Every structure is written in structure tokens, then in C-alpha cells.
Chain A
Amino acid sequence: MTTVDDLREGAELPPLRLPPITRTTLALFAGASGDHNPIHIDLDVARSAGLDDVFAHGMLSMAYLGRLLTGWVPQHRIRSYRVRFAAITPVHAEPTCTGRVVSVADGLATLALAVTLADGTTTLTGEAVIDLT
């Protein structure tokens, strides 16, 4: 776990590299997260929507990024956490979560967050505010 002193401007969080997202990952996440939207787990439904295949829940990537955060600071210090889902995460993708301290002011550190895939696609960008006091 990091110390508050590590939260200086420009500091990079140790990246979190995930194994490939399998269909099993998606089935388990559907059940565990309660998001049963079949577009993520049922190929027939994905095809009926004009897609070639199922794709990962956005909230799976946000949960991975949450692991990056709570692996770095105690969770109670997180004041806010938000993301924009920029691109679909295909099945078999290998996400990497990254974060960087962009500012420290008034006892709050602001982190810029991202999830990228092995092919360079940024699937998610976000921001978290950490209470340093």
C-alpha cells in the first residue's frame, strides 16, 4: 500500500495488467455484477443486434480500474471515481489499467485513469479524487 507522500504530481501508479477476457469471464461477471444484459453473454443476441460477437461489460473494466485504485490507496480515501467508456472491449482483449497523479491541491489528489488494450485502443478514460488528509 502506498503512503500519502507517494501521491505527488506526476507519480504513476503501478499498471495493472489483466489476463485475456474470456467468455467465462463475461459469464461470471454477468452473474456476479447482476448485469444480465444478454448482449454480453449470448452470441445469438449479439448477432441479432448486428454485432459479430459479444463484448465485455463496461463495468468490468471500471471494476478492474477500481482494483488499481484500492491496490494503491485505502478505499475510504476515494472521494469520487468516474469514467467515460470510449470504445467497446471485445472478447479475448487484454486490458491494462493505468493511472497518474495530475494534481495535488487542498488535501486532494486528482488521478487520470485509463484502460488500454494490447492493440493500443483506449477503451476507457477516467478520473478519481483521493483524500490525502
Chain B
Amino acid sequence: MPVDPDKARALAFPPVTVTVERGRLRFFAQAIGETDPEYVDLAAARAAGHPDLPVPPTFFFSLEMESPDPWGYLADLGVDLRRVLHGEQEFSYHTMVYAGDTVELRPRIVDVYTRKGGALEFLVKRTDVMRHDQLVAEATAVIVVRNPEVAR
């Protein structure tokens, strides 16, 4: 079923408020094989000049996953999650974020387009990451929906 671009752009995403936890950062570091003690050991982080464990470059994506139903917007658009691929991901950084910080993530769909006669649909989702009133990072995801039954 094709995605309705107007509906996608009009989707209201509830903001996600998350307090960054040291334990989650350590679990993430373990899962990606991180060996740099700055990312797991508080004393090493402080010795390197950080006030607490730093949020690593891609973890902003994971903070957004703290939403109660992170894929709910795809279901709202009639998209089967099994047909979804992650096409592109981009982050812009304005300042560092640390364990103990509370951030608010504000996602929205900024673009919808199709390729190959509708066999591939692209959703571009941009998320502002705010700490109080400060924009600390922006995340942009390109989500690809495969519609193999659409003839090229």
C-alpha cells in the first residue's frame, strides 16, 4: 500500500523525553565492542575532561527508540515493518551530551518520495534533540519501504 505523503508530513509525533543513564551507555558500549575507557569508566571519562560518561555519536538514534512505540508511525502509515530498510542516517552535533542529562527528542517527517515507479518509497524523518532550550544535535533518518509487488 503506497504511503500517503500528505498524511506522512502531517503525522504528529509525541516528543520523547529521556534521561540518559550510565548503565545504558555501558550496555551500548559493550554491545559495540567499545574498548575506550572514556565511554564506560566514570573515572576515565572525568580524567578526559568529561563531567560524566559521554553519549557516543550514534546513541541519539537509540534515545529516540526510548519512545513507547518507536515504529508506531509506520503502522499509522500502513507500512509493514518487515518491508522497511534503513537507507541513510545523519547526525549534526552542536555540543556534547552526558549521562544524567535529560533531553527531549522532537521527530517529524520532512520529505516523502518514491523511486522505481513506486517500488521504493522513502520517508525522511528529522529529529531535533533539545536539552532545555538548547538544540544539542539533529538526527536525520531516511527510511526505505520496499514494495516488490509494484511493477517497474
Contacts and interface: CB of A to CB of B under 8 A. Distances in A.
Interface of A: 18-19, 25, 28-29, 31-37, 39, 45, 48-49, 57-60, 62-64, 66-67, 69-71, 75-76, 78-85
Given A63-B58, A75-B56, A81-B90, A37 B36 contact: no
B70 A34 contact: yes
B31 A33 contact: yes
B11 interface: no
Contacts, number: 108
A75 B25 CA distance: 15
Contacts of A84: 87-88
Interface in B73-98: 81-93, 95-96
Contacts of B27: 28, 31-32
Given A28-B31, A29-B32, A62 B89 contact: yes
Interface of B: 24, 27-28, 30-34, 36, 39, 54, 56-58, 61-63, 65-66, 70-71, 81-93, 95-96, 140
